[in-house]
Amino acid sequence: MLLHIDASQHRWFCDERWYDLLVIMDDATSEIYYAQLVEESTRTVMTGLREVIEQKGLFCALYSDRASHFFLTPKTGEPVDHNRVTQVGRALRELGIQLIPAYSPQARGRSERGFGTWQGRLPQELRLRGLTMVDAANQFLREHYLSEFNQRFMVKAAERGTAFVPLRRKDLDLVFALQHERVVGRDNTVSFANRSWQIERTKLRGTLAGCRVVVHEHLHETLSITFGPHVVGRYQSAAMATETKIELRKSGRKAA
């Protein structure tokens, strides 16, 4: 099963504001599974993909353009480097989903024709309903417009049933996060984003000093640290990163 992801930048509210309409659709039937007004980025792409996978299940492959959040391209016009994966590419690889780059102009032409339909219809729908804020527009897309759009433009599948595979994994918070490898310092802290993140003692071992861990920047703006399959730290905000160390210094104790 092949899904197609693409975005169109447009003045969807007919004013000076530009937004990307990020769309994920079935390549065979043109059914739209996801459409939201966003600023296209690694985070917004991951958010869309995660929502589709949670609602529908896993699929075989994703077809996309060669934007930098999908692929790394050594030189403009050259093939993508499949040996160096982006955060999106890594997440899909963990789930067994193949990421396919678009090279043919025919594929791009299909997207442009589809977005031509969106650009002709969606701004008028938003205007008629007095929707001028992006959150309200996205709620309208999710709760009303997608079903109407699919009824009008979706092609009936040749066979009954679904090609989506049920999702068995419970770790999508970790998969769909920006991952960064770090080495734990001697004071059992991890340096990341110009801050020190304290790792408390665990049952695994007294200290993780010198060990390689992975820092996960989650889509909901929290952060966690994993050591192998184990989560060894969770943080609600950047402000909490140094809180523990400050309190320890005040009490005269040393960090673990």
Q: What is the model's pTM? A: 0.86
In a domain, 177, yes or no: yes
* Number of structural domains the chain divides into: 2
Q: Which is higher by pLDDT, 110 or 79?
A: 79
pLDDT (mean) for 149-174: 86
Q: Is the pLDDT of residue 256 over 50?
A: no
Q: Is 58 in the same domain as 138?
A: yes
Selection from 169, 182, 162 nearest residue 223 by Cα:
182
The one-letter amino acid code at 212 reads R
pLDDT of 48: 98
Q: Which is higher by pLDDT, 159 or 166?
A: 166
Q: Is 118 in the same domain as 31?
A: yes
Q: Is the pLDDT of residue 247 over 90?
A: no
DSSP tag of 239: G
pLDDT of 202: 82
State the residue range of the domain holding 233: 172-251
